[in-house]
Structure 1
Amino acid sequence: MNDRDFTNDLLAMEKYMSDSYSIYLNEVSNQTLYEDFMRIFTETKNEQRHLYNLMFERGWYSLDAADQQNLQQSYQQFQGYSTQFPYGTNGNIQ
């Protein structure tokens, strides 16, 4: 296993762990446990971001630039969906 594969495996594990912690945080009722797991969740998300940045800096994780037409189409689609939310895009009840 080379450095790229090892780092990619770590990144995948951090993503899985943060997803699992997020579910737990939604369900936990005990405040002390919530605070403990929120701290762990934050550490996990920070480590995930660190690994992503490392991979990006080394050229192991690349992003494609979105074209303007796709961005505009996505924006218009979101604008259509936002009318269905009970809260407007400004956070006020409609």
Structure 2
Amino acid sequence: MTQNQLDDQLCVEDVLSSQKFLSSNYNTAVQEAANPKLRKDLMEIQRQEQDAAQKVFSYMSQKGWYKVSPADPQMIDNARMKAQQQIGGQARMPGGAGREERQFL
């Protein structure tokens, strides 16, 4: 790998890290916004940040700079089933699920 490629990779990794940080902060802002219009605007900005992060991730993946191992299909099915059970359980529980369950989702 040439020095130029390494510099490019580090720069793009920094961009992705920044996008993740921004998305996380917008997520908090959305959850804590008391004004419905402001909340809607923040949600749109967050969506745009997530779209930008996806583009950076795709670019890194194409270059071989961000490698993701394929998930085991059985593990995916198990996680999906567990999430669906927890979502279904929240609908039946007065006041929603306990704090631990909400953190999982």
Normalising by the residue count of structure 1, what TM-score does the alignment of the two structures yield?
Answer: 0.73
State how many pairs are aligned: 86
Q: Deviations over 1:35-88 (max 9, x none)?
A: 22112111100000000000001110001233466x27x717x54x93683348
User: Which runs of 5 or more structure 1 residues have no equivalent in the other structure?
Assistant: 89-94
Root-mean-square deviation (CA, aligned residues, Å) is 2.9
d(CA) in 1 for partners of 2:16, 2:63: 14
d(CA) in 2 for partners of 1:48, 1:11: 6
Q: How does 1:39-50 map to 2 (within 5 A)?
A: 39-50=44-55
Normalising by the residue count of structure 2, what TM-score does the alignment of the two structures yield?
Answer: 0.66
d(CA) in 1 for partners of 2:71, 2:36: 42
User: Which runs of 5 or more structure 2 residues have no equivalent in the other structure?
Assistant: 1-5, 93-105
The ranges of structure 1 where at least 4 consecutive aligned residues each deviate by more than 4 angstroms after the TM superposition are: none
Task: Pick 1 or 2: higher relative contact order, CA cutoff 8 A, min separation 6.
Answer: 1
Identical pairs, percent: 23
